[in-house]
Structure 1
Amino acid sequence: MAAKRLGISRDLLIHPGETIADILDERGITQAELAARTGVTPAYISMVISGKKDISAKFAMSLEYALDIPKTFWINLQAHYDAELLEVNEIDTITESERNVYVELADRLNILCGQGKIPCNQGMEENILSLRRYFRISNLSHLNRISANVV
């Protein structure tokens, strides 16, 4: 269902390691040479390129020296990937207790939808995410912890 919201699936997200692989191909640099230039093992480079390891700030700095591409580029690329991955997997964060609270909020949901404050005609998961945003809360089951006039 997250693919419906984003228009993409997790399979279409591009890990920063793929960018490293493209640059190595363009420049004719082997993974072993990049490993030597960055001070990591060839296995580590392979894991980053295959998306099994992320680009840390320290590794981003090493890539800056080795490839003459700023560390901020690598850090931002990783951050954008992480954010996209979070959004794609956001529905997976919905808890059973939130689903129970959602049932209790059915009347409030209809009012908010009628007022145009949240989108109408969504599935339960999308409604829960919309309610999180509306109430500015990370989990609907925590609503009882905040002021009653917010709800």
Structure 2
Amino acid sequence: MVRSRSIIATPPGATIKEQLNDRGMSQKEFAVRIDMTEKHVSKLINGEVQLTPEVAVRLEIVLGVPARFWNNLEAIYREKLIKIAAEKAMDADENLARQFPYSEMAKLGWIPQTRNSKEKVINLRKYFEVVSLSLLENTQITRIACRRLAVTDKSDLALLAWTQEAKIQARGIETKPINIKGLISVMPDIRKMTLKKPKDFCFELKSLLAENGVALVFLPHLKGSFLQGATFIDGNKIVVGLTARGKDADKFWFSLFHELGHIILGHVGKNGGTTEQDEQDADVWSRDELIPLETFKMFKEEQNFSVASVKRFAKENRIAPGIVVGRLQNEGCIEYNMLNELKEHYVITV
């Protein structure tokens, strides 16, 4: 007998046992009469093996109860087992669904609006393309390289929701085959885009990345995800997702280069996602790709961080002044409230 919250499934073997008890027949004798091993009969009575049409015919001969009766009992039992499994999975998924930022996802148009908990589960299963939300724990599904500001249980689920939307949108982006060497070769061109406005560089940036097998997607920030960006392989392309909430240019470029660093350093597609060391390595790569280490070291040694000095250094190195300011602030050379007038604030339309 198998139970769930509202369903009980009784195997046909329970009826077989009743028949044997009524006749005072032992399982050993019954096994001989039906020409089966005692072990198989025991499993049949306990519902551990399926009652096949052939067995149903044998039961009709030995017990005098029509084969169709046994076939019907087996069909009902198997159907109830499926419903029990579905109900248990639904109960588990309802608990999991409560941890997703469902309302915000619905407001963004990613999933249908509903207050019904079961409908939420069904909608989330369809959204994530899994038969059970518990499968999202499988590392084959969640091999994501990402840059987040904090980590909580709910933030992990928000991250999965955000990256799934990036995956869905990236399917509409045509890319050429993945070409890591090609991506490395265009990094100087991407770096030069730091001097342009979003309306001027967005299309060019997306096209350049698509030429090398990378689909770039801008998405709204999802509350609770603490997410800056994420990178993962989907089919024959690499998807890079970035939050498009208003942010300073230096943070935008650092996040983008951080994600591209994951690709170039070989972190994408690893089982279990990225390690803390991978994240640190991508940070260092992003930092030094934007402003080479030795070049920045010589600038710091001058100890002149005036507006004019920063602008001069940025111009000489063909980089946006705001990126220089962000680096100075991050490395403790100046306070976070200094030189912010040199930072440009981006608003990117998704």
| TM-score grouping bracket, smaller chain normalisation | 0.5 to 0.7
The C-alpha deviation readout for 1:6-42, integer Å capped at 9, x for no partner, is x23xxx4211111111111012111122212211111
Match of 2:70 among 71, 74, 88: 74
TM-score by length of 2: 0.29
Q: Which residue pairs with 2:300 in the alignment?
A: none
Counterpart for residue 116 of structure 1: none
Structure 2: distance between partners of 1:62 and 1:16: 14
Q: CA deviation at 1:126?
A: 5.8
| 1:56 is aligned to 2:52 | yes
Task: Give 1:3 shift.
Answer: 3.8
Shift of 1:56: 1.0
Map 1:92-111 to 2 at 5 A: 92=89, 107=106, 108-110=111-113
Q: Secondary structure at 1:29's aligned position in 2? A: coil
> Aligned to 1:127, which of 100, 106, 120?
120
Q: Which has the larger radius of gyration?
A: 2
Greater percentage in strand: 2
- Aligned counterpart in structure 2 of residue 16 of structure 1, from 8, 12, 22: 12
Correspondence 1:32 to 2:35: no
Change (3 A) 1:44 1:86: same
Query: Tell me, which stretches of 5 or more residues in structure 2 are unaligned?
Result: 130-167, 169-350
Structure 1 runs, 4 residues or longer, greater than 2 Å off:
91-95, 102-110, 125-129
Higher relative contact order (CA 8 A, sep 6+): 1
Whether 1:46 and 2:46 are equivalent positions in the alignment is no
RMSD between aligned alpha carbons? 3.2
Letter in 1 for 2:71: I
Match status 1:83 vs 2:86:
no
Task: State the alpha-carbon separation in 2 of the partners of residues 74 and 68 from structure 1.
Answer: 11
Q: Number of residues paired by the alignment?
A: 116
